[in-house]
Amino acid sequence: MNPKYEEHIQHTFDSYCKSVLKRTARELYGEIKRRGEREVTFSALSSRELAALAVEDEYFTGAYVFDVLGESVGVTDCDLAEALNVLPADRREIVLMSYFFDMSDREIAERLNMARRTVAYKRTSTIKELKKFMESEE
């Protein structure tokens, strides 16, 4: 190949690369300028504007927490939590496992080393007890 032609191709490629880099830099500077015109840093906001943007999560504020199977169960209804707190520990665990962990009587019986029928009886009688307690509180 002709050395002059190779040199011409190199210069053409160099020119192309420089123009791509210049155009990309110009686009990036323009984007930074546009963002700077629209965006505001948090430190520049007043406390009232910052408070309007904030959201506080209320997952377990004011909730009663019961420990079942090594996990925490939060109950936000104060009346229900109070009623559960009055129950004996084994009955409370059966109700919480049944309704919060969606466990069947058989699964609960295996966990607590009880007969399935005993778990079913304790669960149903405890629910009746809770219902009476909740109705008397109203």
Give residue 135's region: left, alpha or beta (phi > 0; psi -120 to 50). Answer: alpha
Query: pLDDT tens digit string along 8-67?
Result: 999 999 999 999 999 999 999 999 999 988 888 888 888 888 888 888 776 656 678 888
Phi then psi for 114, rounded to 5 degrees? -125, 170
Q: Are 122 and 87 in contact (CB under 8 A)?
A: no
The pTM (predicted TM-score) of the whole model is 0.55
Predicted confidence band of residue 77 (pLDDT cuts 50, 70, 90): confident
In the numeric block, which tokens belong to residue 28? 């990036």
pLDDT, averaged across the chain: 87
Provide the CB-side half-sphere exposure for 1 (13 A, CA).
7
Amino acid 31: pLDDT? 94
82-110 average pLDDT score: 90
Given a cut of 90, whether residue 137 has pLDDT beyond it is no
Dump pLDDT digits (tens) for 106-123. 999 999 899 999 999 999
- Provide the token pair at 27: 């686009």
- The average pLDDT across 85-97 equals 89
Q: What is the pLDDT of residue 10?
A: 93
How large is the average pLDDT for residues 82-103? Answer: 89
At residue 72, φ and ψ (nearest 5 deg) are: -90, 135
**SS3 state at 91:** helix
Instruction: Give the side-chain half-sphere CA count within 13 A for 133.
Output: 16
Neighbouring residues of 91: CB distance < 8 A, sequence distance ≥ 6: 122, 126, 129
